[in-house]
Amino acid sequence: MTAAAPARPTSWPRPVLRAPAARPAPAVPAFSKYLVPEVVFGWGALSEAGWAARRLGARRPFVVTDAGLVQAGWWAELAGHLAEAGLQPTVWQDLTPNPKDHEVAAGAECYLASGCDVIVGLGGGSVIDAAKAVAVVASNGGVILDYEGVDRVTAAIPPTVMCPSTAGTGADVSQFAVITDTTRRLKATLIGRALVPDISVTDPRLLTTMPDDLAAATGLDALTHGIEAFVSRASGPLTDVHALHAIELICGSLRGTLARPDDQAAHTAMAQASLEAGLAFTNAILGATHAMSHQVGGLLDLPHGVVNGVLLPHVIRFNARSAPDRFVPVARAMGIDVGGLPGEVAAEAAAAEVARLAADLGCPSGLAQLGVRESDVDTLATTTLGDACLSTNPRDADRAEIAALFRSAL
User: Model confidence over 154-164: pLDDT tens digits?
Assistant: 999 999 999 99
The answer to whether residue 17 scores a pLDDT higher than 80 is no
Higher pLDDT, residue 388 or 26: 388
Q: Return the axis-axis angle of helices 288-300 and 377-384, rounded to nearest 10°.
A: 130
Superfamily of the domain at 211-409: Dehydroquinate synthase-like - alpha domain (1.20.1090.10)
For position 191, what pLDDT does the model report?
94
For position 8, what pLDDT does the model report?
36
Out of 3.40.50.1970, 3.40.1080.10, 3.30.450.40, 1.10.3720.10, select the CATH number for domain 38-205.
3.40.50.1970
Q: What is the mean pLDDT of residues 332-339?
A: 95
**For residue range 203-215, what is the model confidence (pLDDT) as tens digits?**
999 999 999 999 9
For position 29, what pLDDT does the model report?
52
DSSP strands (E only) in 328-393: none
- Burial (0-12, 13-18, 19+ Cβ within 10 Å), 13: exposed
Work out the percent of the chain whose per-residue pLDDT is above 90.
88
**For residue range 78-124, what is the model confidence (pLDDT) as tens digits?**
999 999 999 999 999 999 999 999 999 999 999 999 999 999 999 99
Strands 90-92 and 149-150: unpaired
| CA proximity to 175, closest of 191, 164, 160, 187 | 191
The answer to whether residue 239 scores a pLDDT higher than 50 is yes
Cα separation, 273 vs 249, in Å, equals: 6
**For residue range 352-394, what is the model confidence (pLDDT) as tens digits?**
999 999 999 999 999 999 999 999 999 999 999 999 999 999 9
Sign of CA dihedral 183, 187, 188, 194: positive
- Burial (0-12, 13-18, 19+ Cβ within 10 Å), 73: exposed
Q: Which of the 8 DSSP states describes residue 142?
A: S
Task: Evaluate whether 309 touches 292 at the Cβ level (below 8 Å).
Answer: no
For position 24, what pLDDT does the model report?
43
The answer to whether residue 12 scores a pLDDT higher than 70 is no
Sign of CA dihedral 216, 217, 219, 223: positive
Mean pLDDT for all residues in the chain: 92
Domain ranges of the chain: 38-205, 211-409
Task: Evaluate whether 291 touches 393 at the Cβ level (below 8 Å).
Answer: yes
For position 340, what pLDDT does the model report?
86
CB neighbours (10 Å) of residue 256? 15
